[in-house]
Structure 1
C-alpha cells in the first residue's frame, strides 16, 4: 500500500493534478482546508460517498481510520475535490495529504489493527509449486482443481480462497492421482492435446525446438509410465481441406522427442496439399520412458518462399484464411495429440521416484524403517514443520494399511495420499498463543513466519533450510531474517513473485484474452503478445533485483526486447528471439516505465482502438490505489467516424464531451 501511495505521489506531481498557484507562508491547518474545500459535500446532512468530514477530527484519525484512509487515497489520486470545484494550491494540498498520512501512520504504530489469524488455502499455482518442490513432479493444476476466485485482483487473498464441496473433492482426487503419477504407477491410457493459438505465427525459430527449424509446437508432456505412445499432429487446413500455405511442396516437418528426430514428413507426399480434414493422421508409435519429455513438431527452415507471397507486408503469418493481402501464408502446425501408454509398465527411473524413494529396503524387515524415513521426510516438507511422534505413527499406520494389501510401494503410495490430502498441506494457519487477549499484539511463531516468507516470495512452502532455522527459533533474529530474505530473492524460485504478483497487479494474466482486431492491426500475433508479457516481467524483475527506486516503475529509461518486439517499437539492430536490455531515448522516450509498455497499453485498450477511459481507470486502480467513481448515466459511446484517422484520440474525446460526436 505504501509503495502505491509513493507512486501516486509521483504521478500527482508529474501530471499536475493539483491545480492552483503556490502561495507563500505556512499552509492552512487541515481542519481549515477540509472545511473550505470538502465539507460542502461531505457533511452530516449530505454524506456524499458516505463521508461526514465535519464530524471527523483530522488530528485524531485513529477514531475512524478506514474513512481517513479513503480520504488519503482520493487526495493522492488527485481526484478530490472533483474537476470544476475550487482547490487549494499545490503546497497546501500536499501538506494536507502528508499531515493525514503521518497521523494515520502514528495511529497505526500506537494501536495497530491486525486481522485475526485465519486459515489460508493453497491456490492452484501454490499447489502445483508445492507438488514440484516435494515430489519433483510437474503437474497442470487446472486438470485437478477448479479456478480460484480473486479478491482485490489477486488469487492468494484469504477472503477469496473459500472452500467448497467441489474443492474438497478436487484436493482428495488430486492426492490420489498425483501419488500414483509421482511413483510411476499410473499405467492407464490417457490422451492430451496441445493446441497452437489461432494467431500464433510460425515463421521464426521456437526456443526449445532444434536449431534449423521454424514454427511448430513444443509440448512439455509428462509420460506417466514406460511403454508405447501414439503421437500425432495435424496441420492447419481451411474449411474445404486445403493445406494452409498453398504452394509449399518443398516443406518438411520434423517430429522430435527431447530434440532427437523421430520422423520426417514431406509436404505434398506424406502430407497431401488437399485432404479431408478428418483424414489427417500423421501418427507415429514410439517407445518412451516415463517422466517429463519435450515433444516437438516443427518445419525444417529453408529459403523457399511461395512466389505468390514475395510481396509480404506483415510479420503475421496467419489470419482467418488470409482476408488481407500481405499476410504471408506458409504451412502451420495446428495441434499435437499424445495418447498412451499402450501396454504400459510402471516407470522405474523418473525424477519424482528418485526424490520420493530415498531408501530401498532389500528385506521385509527393513521396510518399516525405510517407510518411516520416506514418509516423514515428505510430511515434514508438506506440513512445513518438524514432525511429532504422533504424526509419524499416523503415517506408518497408513503405510501398513497399504502394505497389507500389496507391496512396499503400495504402502508408500497410501501414506503419500494421506499427506497430500492432509489439512496441514492444503491449508496453512496461524494460531494466537493461549495467553493472548483479544486484540492484543503478539509475535507469530518462527514456523508461521517461514511460511509467510516462502509463500510470498516463492508461492511455495519453505525449504529445509528455512524450516530448520524456524524450528530452532532463529528466524526471528533480524540478521538471520534479512539473510534468508536475500537468499530467497536470489533463488530462481523467486521468479514466482514476478509471475504471480506482477502478473496480477499489472493485469498480465489477461493478455491471453486480449486480441486486437486483425483487419485493423494485421501485424499483431501471439508472438508479439508473449513478447510484451516477457518484457513487462523482465522490467519489473529488474526493478526488484537491482533494488531500484519504486519511482523508476514509471520513469526508467530502459526496457527489454527481442527482435519481434523491437520491430513493433521501431528499435533497430535487434535480432533473434533472445531478450536484451536496450536504452530508451529520443523518440523512444514514450516507452519509458510501465505506462510505455505494450502489455499495459494492450490490456487498457479496446480491440480496435486505444481507450483513455480504460487506461485512466487502470492508472487510478493499479498505480494510485483508488477506485474511480461510477460513470455518469447516459454517456453515449464513441461512434465510428470515417474521418477519425485525421483526429487524435484526445480530439475525438473532446468532441464527445462537448456533444459534437
Structure 2
C-alpha cells in the first residue's frame, strides 16, 4: 500500500493536537469495529503466544522476571504501557532473545496484529485527552516566525533569547517556564523589535555587528555574491529607517593579532543588493604596527531605503593567487578557526546608522503595523488603537476583549504625552510582545468537562495548533477569521485549509524545524570532526549537508510521495561543494539541484552526510550511534538506556589497535550488553562504508572495511 507523506503528517498533527474531534458516537463506533471491550481478558491468540515464548521469563507470577518486566494478565487502561512495550519488542524482533525458542515470521506477524488491534480498541474506548494544567511557551523558532508574520521583520532569535530546553528530542513540547533571566531577555527583545519595526525614530543611530563563523572557509566563491569574487559574506539586513548608514569591515587575524593571508595586494568590495557601493585596495602589512591599522580604512557610507536588503562584502578573486594555491601542497594543520589562512578573510561586519538629518521612519514593517496613517494629530490615538487591536488579534491568536486593549493603550498614552506618536507605539508594541497571551499558547478546558474525558477543542485553539504544526508560526488572517466564525471544523474546511497551508512557503518549516529536530540535524551545528583527520570539513560543508536533507524532506512532502522514499530515493540534492565531498562529478556552482545518484551510491537519508556525521564521533564512525539512530528515528523502537554498571567502549591504545567491529565484539561478550547491542550494532555495521563525515571508503587504516552484518533475526544485510 502506498504511504504518502501526507498520511504520515496527519497522525503527527493528531499527536500535536491531542484529541481533536472525538465525540461519544465516534468513540462508540471505533470500539464496535474492534468488537471487544477495553477491559477484556487477554485473547486466546495472545495468551497462546505468550505461553510459548514469553512466560518463562515474563509471566506475571514469575518470582524473578527478566528485566523486572511482567506481562499483564488483562487488557485495561493500566496495562497499556506494558503491552505497548511488548508490542515494540515483538515488532522489532528483539524478543524472544536469540538463544531462546523463537516464533516463525508468520507467528510474529499474527501476534503483532492481535496486539495492535487490542491496543487500538483500548485507545478508542478510553482515550487519554490530556489536560492543559501547564502552559506551552513559544520556542525560539516559533517566536522568530511569529515576529516575521506579525511585523515583517526577519530576526535571529538565537541572538535575542536563551536556548530552549528539549524533551524527547523536540523543543516544542517542553513544559514552559519563565525564569527572571528569560523574562528579562524577552523584555529586551521586545524593546529592540518594536524599535526596529517603527524605524527607531525615538532613539539615536543604532548598530549591529555580524561576525562570520570561525570555521567557515573563505577560499572560494560565496553563494549569492557575483562570480569572480571569493570569500566574505552575504547577509540579509533590515535597515530600520531610510538614510545614510556606515559599514565597517574587520579582517580575520590569528592569535598574535596578525592579519592572515595578506601576501599580496587585495581588493575588497561592498555590495548592496548586488550593486557595488564601495571598493578598497588593501596592501600587505610591512611592519608589526601595520597589522593593527591595515583595515582601518575599510569604511563605506551609503544611502539606503528602509527595509530588508542584501549586504555583501567580498574580495575580487586574483587568478594568479588561485593558481598558486592549487600548486601548493595541501596544508592539513588547520585548527577550528581555519588557521593558517592562505588568503585574507572577513572577520566581522559592523553596520551603524542612520546618520544625518533624515528622520523618516517609513519602512515595510512600519507599514505592516499601521492599519492606516493618522489623518492628523487628533487622529493619532484612534489610529494607534486600531493598529494595536489588529496586532493583538494576530499575536494573541484570538478575538480581542476590552481588557486586552487597556494596558497597551495606557502605555501608549503615557509615552505619547512625553515623546509623541512613535514612542507611544513602541511602548505599546513592546507590552504586546511580552504579554503571556503572545508568549504562551494558552488553552482552557471547558468548565463542564469531567476529568479524564475527551472534549472538542474550540476552532480558535484548533487554528493555533494547526498553524504552529505546519508553519511553526501564528495563524494568518484567513485561518483566524474562519476560526472566529466557528467554521474551521465545519465540513471539509479543515482539510482545505491544511492543503492551502502546505502549499504556502511557510510550510518549509516542516523541513527546517520539525524534520531538523526529528532527524537530529540541529546537532550538526555543534558537530566538529577532528580537523587533523578531516581538514576539508568546515561550516560551508556543514550547511550544504543540512540543506541536502531538508530539500529531500521538502520534495517528498510537497510532491506527496511515499514516505518510504525518504529512505529509498535514488536521487539527491547537491551543490558543487557537497558533490565534490561525495565524489560526484559535473556539478558546478553553489545552486542546489536534483541529481540522479544511482551511479554514486547516494540518495536516501541513510546515505546522506548530515545523518552520517551526527551519528559519528569526532575521530571515527560509531555503529552504535548509527544503529540507535535508525531504531529510534526510523523504526520507532528506541533501545533502552544502558545499565548503570556497563563500561564504555574501550578506545585504541598503542599496545592494542583493534577495529571498531572487534572492540564492539569484546563489548558484546558482556551479557548485560549483548541483548541490546545484538539489535543495535548490525544496523550500524551496514553503514561502515561511510566514514565519520559521510565519505565513501573501502579501507580504514589500510584494512578493508567490513560492512556485512547479521540481524538478530538471522537475516544477513
Q: Do they superpose with TM above 0.5?
A: yes
The reply to whether residue 481 of structure 1 matches residue 494 of structure 2 is: yes
Asked if the contact 2:198/2:240 (under 8 Å) is kept, the reply is: no
Larger deviation, residues 487-496 vs 564-573: 564-573
Instruction: Quote the Cα distance in structure 2 between the aligned partners of 1:491 and 1:225.
Output: 30
| Per-residue deviation, residues 191-233 of structure 1 (Å, max 9, x unmatched) | 5332333332223322232333112122333344555544322
The reply to whether residue 93 of structure 1 matches residue 108 of structure 2 is: yes
Could you tell me which residue of structure 1 aligns to residue 163 of structure 2?
147
Could you tell me which residue of structure 1 aligns to residue 634 of structure 2?
623
Asked if the contact 1:457/1:489 (under 8 Å) is kept, the reply is: yes
| Per-residue deviation, residues 435-475 of structure 1 (Å, max 9, x unmatched) | 22222221111110000000001111100000111111111
Which aligned pairs between 1:124-523 and structure 2 lie closer than 5 A?
Answer: 124-159=140-175, 161-185=176-200, 187-188=203-204, 190-225=206-241, 229-240=245-256, 243-245=259-261, 247-249=263-265, 251-268=266-283, 277-279=291-293, 280-289=295-304, 290-305=306-321, 309-311=325-327, 329-340=342-353, 346-392=359-405, 395-523=408-536
Deviation at 1:489, TM superposition (A): 0.5
Instruction: Quote the Cα distance in structure 2 between the aligned partners of 1:641 and 1:614.
Output: 25
Asked if the contact 2:198/2:362 (under 8 Å) is kept, the reply is: no
Deviation at 1:176, TM superposition (A): 2.8
Deviation at 1:656, TM superposition (A): 6.3
Could you tell me which residue of structure 2 aligns to residue 108 of structure 1?
123
Larger deviation, residues 215-224 vs 497-506: 215-224
Asked if the contact 1:246/1:273 (under 8 Å) is kept, the reply is: no
What is the aligned length? 626
Could you tell me which residue of structure 1 aligns to residue 592 of structure 2?
579
C-alpha spacing 1:86/1:135, structure 2 compared with 1 (3 Å): same
Asked if the contact 1:73/1:624 (under 8 Å) is kept, the reply is: no
| Per-residue deviation, residues 497-526 of structure 1 (Å, max 9, x unmatched) | 211111111111111111111221222222
User: Tell me, what secondary structure is at the counterpart of 1:582?
Assistant: strand
Instruction: Quote the Cα distance in structure 2 between the aligned partners of 1:338 and 1:363.
Output: 34
The reply to whether residue 607 of structure 1 matches residue 618 of structure 2 is: yes
User: Tell me, what secondary structure is at the counterpart of 1:501?
Assistant: helix
| Per-residue deviation, residues 35-86 of structure 1 (Å, max 9, x unmatched) | 3333333344334444211x433xx254411222222223333333344443
Deviation at 1:316, TM superposition (A): 9.1
Larger deviation, residues 273-282 vs 68-77: 273-282
Instruction: Quote the Cα distance in structure 2 between the aligned partners of 1:569 and 1:361.
Output: 59
Larger deviation, residues 40-49 vs 538-547: 40-49
Deviation at 1:321, TM superposition (A): 8.9
User: Tell me, what secondary structure is at the counterpart of 1:334?
Assistant: strand
| Per-residue deviation, residues 115-138 of structure 1 (Å, max 9, x unmatched) | 113422111111111111111122
Larger deviation, residues 114-123 vs 603-612: 114-123
Instruction: Quote the Cα distance in structure 2 between the aligned partners of 1:551 and 1:273.
Output: 62
Match of 1:530 among 543, 553, 562: 543
User: Tell me, what secondary structure is at the counterpart of 1:29?
Assistant: helix
Match of 2:70 among 45, 52, 58: 52
Instruction: Quote the Cα distance in structure 2 between the aligned partners of 1:333 and 1:364.
Output: 48
**Structure 2 unmatched runs, 5+:** 13-42, 671-717
Instruction: Quote the Cα distance in structure 1 between the aligned partners of 2:668 and 2:436.
Output: 56
Instruction: Quote the Cα distance in structure 2 between the aligned partners of 1:320 and 1:101.
Output: 50
C-alpha spacing 1:391/1:204, structure 2 compared with 1 (3 Å): same
| Per-residue deviation, residues 80-109 of structure 1 (Å, max 9, x unmatched) | 334444322222122212221121112111
Instruction: Quote the Cα distance in structure 1 between the aligned partners of 2:308 and 2:337.
Output: 35
User: Tell me, what secondary structure is at the counterpart of 1:606?
Assistant: coil
Deviation at 1:242, TM superposition (A): 5.1
User: Tell me, what secondary structure is at the counterpart of 1:210?
Assistant: coil
Deviation at 1:652, TM superposition (A): 5.8
Could you tell me which residue of structure 1 aligns to residue 24 of structure 2?
none
Asked if the contact 1:248/1:306 (under 8 Å) is kept, the reply is: no
**Structure 1 unmatched runs, 5+:** 8-26
User: Tell me, what secondary structure is at the counterpart of 2:128?
Assistant: coil
Instruction: Quote the Cα distance in structure 2 between the aligned partners of 1:233 and 1:399.
Output: 39
Could you tell me which residue of structure 2 aligns to residue 78 of structure 1?
93
C-alpha spacing 1:636/1:407, structure 2 compared with 1 (3 Å): closer
Instruction: Quote the Cα distance in structure 1 between the aligned partners of 2:669 and 2:66.
Output: 27
Asked if the contact 1:228/1:344 (under 8 Å) is kept, the reply is: no
* RMSD, aligned CA: 3.2
* TM-score of the two chains, using structure 2 as the length reference: 0.80
Deviation at 1:308, TM superposition (A): 5.3
Deviation at 1:653, TM superposition (A): 4.0
Asked if the contact 2:129/2:453 (under 8 Å) is kept, the reply is: no
Instruction: Quote the Cα distance in structure 1 between the aligned partners of 2:618 and 2:598.
Output: 29
C-alpha spacing 1:237/1:307, structure 2 compared with 1 (3 Å): farther
| Per-residue deviation, residues 515-554 of structure 1 (Å, max 9, x unmatched) | 1112212222222111110000001111211112222222
Could you tell me which residue of structure 2 aligns to residue 23 of structure 1?
none
